[in-house]
Amino acid sequence: MHWPDAEGRDDMNFLRNLLLVVIVVVVMAVWVMLPWPGAAALAVLLTAWLLLTRRGGQARSVASVGISTLTQRLGSSAVIVVGIAGVVGVLVALLAMAEGYAETLRKTGSEDTVIVMRGASASEVMSGLDRDAIVQISQTPGIARDAKGEPLASAEVVVAANLPVMGTTTDEEGSVQLRGVGDQAFAVRPQVKIIDGRKFQPGLRELLVGKGAAKQFAGLSAGKQIRLGSQTWTVAGVFASGDAMESEIWGDAAVVADTYGRGTSRNSVNAKLADAKGFSAFKTAIDANPQLKAETSTTIDYFSKQSEKMTQVIRAIGITVGVIMAIGAMFGALNTMFAAVAARAREIATLRAIGFAGLPVVVAVMLETMLLALIGGLIGGIAAYLIFNGYGASTMAAGSVGKLSFELRVSPELLWTGVKWALAIGFIGGLFPAVRAARLPVTTALREL
């Protein structure tokens, strides 16, 4: 039994379109994982094909004609460029937020400092250690000691405090993390530097404020007085550390615990190791102590893990928004390129009639679309870098009771991601019009136009 010609053509068209969809899916899957050296290698191969082969020369000739007429189609070309620039700009900005947040927490802590919490505690806030546990942890072998032989360990309490947000006229309050620290806190964290005022005095209601918190909340400059826990506190100074600690307020652990009814319990013990290589032995000693039920990790690992979930959420939001916008930009590119192919139908048919193959036509239309996509991607990426790189932001920090201040970070990797998205949109937006141009029957095109 033979299928009718019309039905056979429909089946063939369906199979061709299905093959195109499969090609798009495969190419996008590979493209997403491709590092920039791989893309550069592809660009070199394409350039060599265009310059050294006959069909490449044909594609180059057709593409040069199309590109030379872009100035005559500024309106339709701008639709592609502006649409893709918007997609890339928004995507890079949202991913820069995730990158900045994660980077701030990643550089908090070090390999030679440890945080010890109650066993099975997901975060410092959920932990609690009694006085006996604190003493045993502080005396565990492996902790560094000062000139007096005292262990470099700081038993710390973490509580939430509400303060007026800077720049609001409605007395809006925000949550800040108040950390009560021990005498050795500054030896454990040598990166903490006082940039204004002085250190708080133990036993007094005095505070040392992180630079990030001072920018976010009102009344946190040196010499000012604020209300915390129904008590009046004096801001003794401001510190910088270059990490998540800058979003906190520090005070004497005993005074903070007394003000908030914590007694002698503490949330964690932060300690400096005598040698970073001694972490495994220290952890083994903590785990082997039958009187302790504690979790131990290096501070850099602890804060890195705290950033994972929030970073994933922000990235998921960024990618979701990017996909939605990309679909719109893709349809814009499709409409523009279909119109461009229709306007050049006679020209393309003439080229086919004098011996130009279908592949050069496909490549030529794709090159034109990808060029516009690349321009849009570069504009969007550069705009995102100029506007958002280093921009200050804050959000609730995972595993804490206060907001984390951080700066958006537009890294070269994010810019490359934006360019990849732009080229992917251009690829999909140009492929179907390009294939239509190559399939256009010569006699039909010449007869209709």
Distance of alpha carbon 415 from alpha carbon 377, whole angstroms: 9
Q: What is the bridge-based pairing of β-strands 392-396 and 403-407?
A: antiparallel
Number of H helices, E strands in the chain: 14, 12
Burial bucket for residue 129 (CB in 10 Å: 0-12, 13-18, 19+): buried
Take residue 153 and report the two structure tokens written for it. Answer: 């360990």
Full pLDDT tens readout for the chain, 449 residues: 444 455 555 666 677 777 877 888 888 888 878 888 898 999 999 999 999 999 889 889 888 888 887 788 788 788 889 999 999 999 999 999 988 888 888 888 889 999 999 988 888 888 999 999 999 999 999 999 999 999 999 999 999 888 988 877 667 888 889 999 998 999 999 999 999 999 999 999 999 999 999 988 988 999 999 998 889 999 999 999 988 899 999 999 999 999 999 999 999 999 999 998 999 999 999 999 988 999 999 999 988 888 787 888 888 888 898 888 888 888 888 888 777 777 767 777 777 777 777 788 888 888 888 899 999 999 999 999 999 998 887 776 655 556 778 889 999 999 999 999 999 988 888 888 878 777 777 666 556 54
Q: Is the pTM of this model over 0.85?
A: no
The closest alpha carbon to 278, from 173, 142, 402, 380, belongs to: 142
Distance of alpha carbon 40 from alpha carbon 205, whole angstroms: 60
Output phi, psi for 42, to 5 deg: -65, -40
Take residue 442 and report the two structure tokens written for it. Answer: 């010569």
